Amino acid sequence: MIEIENITIGSVLKRLRLSMKFSQEELAARSSLDRTYISMLERNIKQPTITTVFLLANALNMKPSEFVQQLEEDFDGHIIKRTKV
């Protein structure tokens, strides 16, 4: 069981984007998000809110739950570690 701090969507997002043959610019336009933010998401610099997940999934012509399913598969066997100070 691998401990992680956050769910990171970078690899899933990039894979799906490329499978649609979209540039980041194209995906940004389709999702009404900022192009540089797409870049940051793909590099796991930032994580999206639920609304952003919906926007991205819609832009990728898939259901948000399908997008999340992809994440589940990537993070199977991982546990999110929450630290208490």
Partner DNA sequence: GTAGTCTACATACTATAGTCTACAAAATGG
Partner DNA sequence: CCATTTTGTAGACTATAGTATGTAGACTAC
CA distance 35 to 26: 8
CA angle 23/12/54 to nearest 5° reads 80
Quick one: which segment of 37-45, 59-67, 69-77 binds DNA (CB under 7 A)? 37-45
Q: Which does 80 bind (CB under 5 to 8 A by kind): DNA, its own copies, none?
A: its own copies
Position 66 contacts DNA (CB under 7 A): no
Answer whether 54's CB lies under 8 Å from 20's CB: no
Answer whether 45's CB lies under 8 Å from 85's CB: no
Q: Can you tell me which of 1, 2, 6, 15 binds its own copies, judged by CB under 8 A?
A: 6
Chain residues that interact with its own copies, rule: CB under 8 A: 6-7, 9, 32, 47-51, 53-55, 58, 63-66, 68-69, 71-72, 75, 80, 82, 84
